[in-house]
Amino acid sequence: MSELEMAAGSGHTIAAHGVAAHATPHALAMEPSPYRVGSGKMAMWLFIIADAATFGACLFVYGFLRLTSPDWVRPFVFSPTIINGMIMTFVLLTSSLTMLGAVLAAKAGRTSSCLNWLGATILLGIIFAVLHLREWSSMIREGWRPFQNPMGGSVQFGAAFFSITGLHLLHVISGVVAIAVIAIGYKRGRFQASNVEVTGLYWHFVDLVWMFVFPLLYLLNSH
C-alpha cells in the first residue's frame, strides 16, 4: 500500500505509520471516484462519447445531403460490394471477440494467451483495412472521387462515402497501431491488464460505429 493510499484510507493508518506530514492533508482532501473506474478508462469513455458525436454529425450531414439531392445515386450491387461489406462486418465483429479474449486473458494473468488474442485482433484489423482499401481502389478505378460521380447525378455521394468510410478506416488503422503498441508493452511488462481493457474499449467503439456505417452507407445505397 502506498503512502497516499494509506493517507486516503484512514487517519489512524497515517498516525500509526508516520506518513510524511505534507502528504496527509492533500490525500485526505481527495474524494473517491464516483464511477469507480481508473482515470485511463474514464478518459477513454469521454473520448468515445466525443468521437461518437463526431461520427453522428457526419452521418447526419450525409442524411441531409441525401435528402436534398433529387438525383442521388445508389451505385452498390449485392455482388461484389454488399458481399464485401458483409465480409468486412464479419471480420470486424470477430476482431471484437478476439479483443474480448485478450482482455479476459490479461485479467487472468495469462500473458501468452493475451498476446495471441491481441495478435489475432491486429490481423483481423489489417484484413478489414485491406478489404476496405481494395474496395476504394476499385471505386476509384471506376471514376469515383470525393467530388466526382461517374454515373452522373449528385456528386455528394462520393463526398459522403469517402469522408465517412475514410474517417472510420483511419480509426481502424489507429486502433491496429494502438493494439500493437499495447501488445509489445504488455509483453515487456510496461503495460497492465487495465491498458489492454482500455484499448479494447476503443476497438469495440470502432466496431460499433461500423454497425451504423454499413447499413446507412452501403445497404441504403444498394439496388
Partner 1 sequence: MSAAESHQVPGMKFYVMVWIGLLAIVGFEVFLTYRNLPAKTLLTSLLLLSAVEAGLALMYFMHLKYERPRLFWSLIPTLIFVLFMMDHIWADAFRLINLRLPTP
Stretch of 13-21, 138-146, 161-169, 214-222 lying at the interface with partner 1 (CB under 8 A): 214-222
All three cell numbers of 223: 439496388
How many CA atoms, within 13 angstroms, populate the side-chain half-sphere of residue 55? Answer: 24
Residue 6-45 contact track with partner 1, rule CB under 8 A, x = bound = ----------------------------xxxx-------x
All three cell numbers of 61: 450531414
Please count the other Cβ atoms lying within 10 Å of the Cβ belonging to residue 155.
16
Residues 73-112 within binding reach of partner 1 (CB under 8 A): 78, 82, 86, 89-90, 93-94, 96-97, 100-101, 104, 107
The one among 68, 137, 148, 174 contacting partner 1 by CB under 8 A: 68
Q: Phi, psi (5° rounding) for residue 142?
A: -75, -10
Residue ranges of alpha helices (H) inside the chain are: 3-9, 11-17, 24-29, 39-68, 83-107, 111-141, 156-188, 193-213
Cβ atoms of 77 and 223 closer than 8 Å: yes
CA–CA separation, 179 vs 61, rounded Å?
31
Nearer to partner 1, 46 or 184 (CB): 46
Cβ atoms of 195 and 185 closer than 8 Å: yes
All three cell numbers of 94: 470477430
Q: Residue 214, interface with partner 1 (CB under 8 A)? A: yes
CA–CA separation, 190 vs 163, rounded Å?
36
Nearer to partner 1, 136 or 212 (CB): 212
Q: Residue 52, interface with partner 1 (CB under 8 A)? A: yes
The one among 1, 30, 57, 130 contacting partner 1 by CB under 8 A: 57
- Least spacing, CB of residue 223 vs partner 1, in Å: 9
How many residues touch partner 1 under the rule CB under 8 A: the total is 44
Site residues, partner 1 (CB under 8 A):
34-37, 45, 49, 52-53, 56-57, 60, 63-64, 67-68, 70-71, 78, 82, 86, 89-90, 93-94, 96-97, 100-101, 104, 107, 197, 201, 204-205, 207-208, 211-212, 214-216, 219-220, 222
